[in-house]
C-alpha cells in the first residue's frame, strides 16, 4: 500500500473522531508537507533515516515548533498503522529528536492606547458615512478591543450569549472552504463568562435595534438573526473581508497594518497597564495558565516599562 492511499483511508477514519477544525489542520499538513515527500513511497519502505532527514530539512527554513505541528499527523498515522491496523511492525517516526535551535520570542503586535482610540474613532466615522457592514465591522472592532475575544469567538456570539453586563463564550466560528462550522471553543479554559463595560453594553443595544429594523424592513425572512454579527442577509461574516476592512482602517488612521488579532493583544496589554491582576487577565482571555500573560504581555508595554524605571529611581 502506498503512503498516499493509506493517508486517504486514515483521514476518512479520523474524521469520525476529531473536530472539523482539527481535521482541516491535519489535511493541510498532509497536503503541504507530508504528501510531497512520501506520497508514492510504499508504507513498509519508509525508513527512519529518511524521516530524520525530512524533519531536519523542514527545520532549516521553518520554526521547530511549527515543524512539530506539521509532521504530527504523519507520526499519528504511522502509529495507528502499527497499533490499530497492524500494517507496520514499528513506527519509523516515533521519538525522533528535533534540532535544538536558539529559541526566539515572536513579537506581539498591539496598539498603544492612544493609537487604538484614534483607530476606533476613524472606524466610527467611516461607519457613520457608509453602509450597514461598515457599522457591523465597527461594532465588532469595539467588542474585540474591549473584551479580548478571538475573532472566531466573537463571530459565533448569539444575542442569548449576552445578558446585561456579561457575555458567555461557549463556541467559535470556523470556516473551511465555503462552509461555516460552529465548533466548541479552542480549549476547556476558553469556556468563560466575562463582564463588559457600559459603553459596549449601550453599543450592543443600539446595534440590536438597528439589526431588528433592517429585518423588519426586509421583504424576506433573514436566517441566523440570533447571531450578533451575521450580516444583513443572515450570513456569517467572512474573516477575510473583515481583515480587508481592518487594513483599510489602519491606512486611514495612518497606523501600521496590524491584524485583527492585535485587538486581543491590545486588550491584554491595556488591562495590565490599568493595574489588572495577571490571573484575571489570563482568565478573561481564556488562557489555561498565567504563563502566557507573564511571559508575553508583561515585557512589551512601554508604559509599564517607564513606570518600572520611575519606581526604581524613586527607590534610590
In terms of Cα–Cα distance, which of 142, 133, 171 is closest to 155?
171
Q: What are the structural domains, with CATH classification, of the chain?
A: 3-83 (1.10.150.130), 113-308 (1.10.443.10)
To the nearest 10 degrees (0 to 180), the angle between helices 239-252 and 113-129 is 110
Among 178-182, 218-222, 230-234, 244-248, the range of highest mean pLDDT: 244-248
- pLDDT recorded at residue 217: 80
Which is higher by pLDDT, 2 or 292?
2
Instruction: Write the pLDDT tens digit of every residue in 79-92.
Output: 999 999 999 999 99
What per-residue string of b and e applies to 149-181 under the rule 16 or more CB within 10 Å gives b?
A: bbbbbbbbbbeebbeeeebebebbbbbeeeebb
Find the mean pLDDT for residues 280-297. 85
Mean pLDDT of the chain: 89
Which is higher by pLDDT, 184 or 263?
263
Query: Over 80: is that where the pLDDT of 220 sits?
Result: no
DSSP of 62-127? S-HHHHHHHHHHHHHHHHHHHHTS---SS-TTTTPPPP-----PPPPP---HHHHHHHHHHHHHHH
How far is the C-alpha of 161 from the C-alpha of 169, rounded, in Å?
7
How far is the C-alpha of 18 from the C-alpha of 25, rounded, in Å?
11
pLDDT confidence bin for 106, thresholds 50/70/90: low
Query: Over 60: is that where the pLDDT of 223 sits?
Result: yes
Query: Over 70: is that where the pLDDT of 309 sits?
Result: no
The grid cell for 146 is 474591549
Find the mean pLDDT for residues 306-310. 64
How far is the C-alpha of 278 from the C-alpha of 1, rounded, in Å?
53
Lowest mean pLDDT among 56-60, 204-208, 299-303: 299-303
Helix ranges (DSSP H) in the chain: 3-14, 20-29, 35-38, 48-61, 64-83, 113-129, 132-147, 151-155, 198-217, 239-252, 261-273, 278-285, 291-292, 302-315
Q: Hey, which residues does 2 pair with through a beta bridge?
A: 42
Q: Are strands 166-169 and 179-183 parallel, antiparallel or unpaired?
A: unpaired
> Phi and psi of 163, rounded to 5°?
-135, 100
Q: Is residue 237 a contact partner of residue 231, using CB atoms and an 8 Å limit?
A: yes
pLDDT confidence bin for 308, thresholds 50/70/90: low
For cell 423588519, name the residue: 216
- pLDDT recorded at residue 275: 81
Q: Is residue 167 a contact partner of residue 194, using CB atoms and an 8 Å limit?
A: yes
Query: Over 60: is that where the pLDDT of 105 sits?
Result: no
Find the mean pLDDT for residues 139-145. 98
Find the mean pLDDT for residues 164-184. 91
- pLDDT recorded at residue 295: 73
Find the mean pLDDT for residues 19-35. 90
Lowest mean pLDDT among 180-184, 295-299, 305-309: 305-309
How far is the C-alpha of 156 from the C-alpha of 181, rounded, in Å?
9
- Tell me which H or E stretch contains 180: strand 179-183
Amino acid at each position: 500500500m502506498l503512503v498516499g492511499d493509506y493517508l486517504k483511508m486514515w483521514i476518512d477514519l479520523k474524521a469520525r473522531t476529531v473536530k472539523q477544525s482539527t481535521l482541516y489542520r491535519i489535511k493541510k499538513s498532509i497536503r503541504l508537507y507530508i504528501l510531497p515527500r512520501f506520497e508514492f513511497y510504499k508504507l513498509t519502505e519508509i525508513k527512519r533515516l529518511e524521516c530524520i532527514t525530512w524533519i531536519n530539512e523542514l527545520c532549516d527554513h521553518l520554526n521547530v515548533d511549527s515543524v512539530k505541528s506539521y509532521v504530527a499527523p504523519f507520526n499519528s498515522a504511522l502509529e495507528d498503522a502499527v497499533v490499530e491496523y497492524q500494517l507496520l511492525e514499528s513506527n519509523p517516526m516515533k521519538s525522533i529528536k528535533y534540532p535544538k535551535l536558539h529559541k526566539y520570542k515572536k513579537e506581539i503586535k498591539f496598539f498603544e492606547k492612544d493609537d487604538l482610540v484614534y483607530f476606533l474613532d476613524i472606524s466610527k466615522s467611516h461607519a457613520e458615512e457608509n453602509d450597514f457592514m461598515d457599522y457591523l465591522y465597527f461594532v465588532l472592532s469595539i467588542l474585540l478591543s474591549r473584551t479580548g475575544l478571538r475573532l472566531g469567538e466573537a463571530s459565533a456570539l448569539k444575542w442569548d450569549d449576552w445578558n446585561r453586563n456579561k457575555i458567555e463564550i461557549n463556541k467559535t466560528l470556523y470556516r473551511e472552504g465555503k462552509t461555516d462550522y460552529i465548533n466548541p471553543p479552542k480549549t476547556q479554559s476558553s469556556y468563560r463568562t466575562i463582564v463588559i463595560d457600559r459603553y459596549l453594553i449601550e453599543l450592543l443595544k443600539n446595534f440590536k435595534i438597528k439589526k431588528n429594523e433592517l429585518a423588519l424592513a426586509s421583504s424576506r425572512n433573514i436566517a441566523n438573526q440570533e447571531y450578533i454579527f451575521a450580516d444583513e442577509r443572515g450570513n456569517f461574516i467572512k474573516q477575510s473581508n473583515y481583515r480587508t476592512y481592518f487594513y483599510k482602517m489602519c491606512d486611514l488612521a495612518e497606523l501600521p497594518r496590524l491584524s485583527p488579532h492585535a485587538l486581543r493583544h491590545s486588550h491584554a496589554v491595556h488591562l495590565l497597564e490599568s493595574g489588572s491582576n495577571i490571573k484575571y487577565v489570563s482568565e478573561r482571555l481564556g488562557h489555561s495558565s498565567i504563563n502566557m500573560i507573564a511571559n508575553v504581555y508583561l515585557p512589551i508595554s512601554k508604559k509599564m516599562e517607564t513606570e518600572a524605571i520611575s519606581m526604581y529611581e524613586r527607590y534610590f
